[in-house]
Amino acid sequence: MDVVRIREAELPVDVDAIGRLWLDYLNWGNDGLDARFGFRLPVQEFVERDLASIERFLPPAGRLLLAFEDGEAVGTAALQSLGTSTAEVKRMWVAPECRRGGIGGDMLDRLISVAEAAGYGSVRLDSPLFMTAAHALYRSRGFMDIAPYPESEIPDRYKSHWVFMERPIP
C-alpha cells in the first residue's frame, strides 16, 4: 500500500503543484457541469485569481493542505475566512485514481480542527449537485444543507445547480 502524507503547503515551493491540482479539480468539475447542465465556468480565471491571492488560505486565518502519495501531490484542500466567526472549505480535491482511501476525509478533518482552534463558530462550503460522494463525506462530518450564502463565489444564475452546507463548531 502506498503511503499518503498530508501536510501544509510550503510556499513558494508548492505553487506549481497547487495550481495543477486546482486546475485538475476545476476542469473535472467543469466537465461534470457541462455534461449535466450545459454550462462551463472560467476555471483558468478562478485558478489565476486564487493563486494571486493565495495568502487568504494561509495561517492564521486559513490553511492550505496538500496530500502526497509516493512524492506526487494527489490532493488539496483549503480553508479561508469568511469573517470572524465563519470559515469556508475551498478547492477540496483528490485525484480520481486516489479516491476511496480516506485522503479527503483526513484533509477535511484537519481543516475542521484548524477552524475550531482558530475560534470559528462554523464552517461552510459549496459543491455542485453531482458531487454526491463529496456530499456524503461532508454530511458524515456534521455538515448540513443551508441556503446559498452571500460569500460563495458561485454566480447567482448557477446556484440552483449547487449544494450549500454548513457545520457548526461547538
Q: Where along the chain do its domains lie? A: 4-120
pLDDT tier, 68 (very low <50, low <70, confident <90, very high otherwise) = very high
pLDDT of residue 2: 64
Range with lowest mean pLDDT among 49-53, 85-89, 96-100, 131-135: 96-100
The single residue listed with the C-alpha cell 506549481 is: 16
pLDDT of residue 100: 83
Mean pLDDT of the chain: 93
The pLDDT of 116-125, averaged and rounded, is 96
Instruction: For residues 58 and 37, give the distance between their C-alpha atoms in angstroms, rounded to a whole number.
Output: 34
pLDDT of residue 1: 45
What share of the chain has pLDDT > 90, as a percent?
85
The pLDDT of 104-128, averaged and rounded, is 96
The pLDDT of 33-40, averaged and rounded, is 93
Inform me whether the pLDDT recorded for 58 exceeds 60: yes
Instruction: For residues 153 and 93, give the distance between their C-alpha atoms in angstroms, rounded to a whole number.
Output: 17
Inform me whether the pLDDT recorded for 116 exceeds 90: yes
For domain 4-120, the CATH architecture is 3-Layer(aba) Sandwich (3.40)
pLDDT of residue 73: 94
The pLDDT of 28-42, averaged and rounded, is 93
Identify the residue with better confidence: 95 or 88.
88
pLDDT of residue 96: 87
pLDDT of residue 104: 92
The pLDDT of 19-48, averaged and rounded, is 93
Stretch (H or E) spanning 79:
strand 72-81
How does strand 4-8 pair with strand 63-69? antiparallel
SS3 2: coil
Instruction: For residues 33 and 3, give the distance between their C-alpha atoms in angstroms, rounded to a whole number.
Output: 32
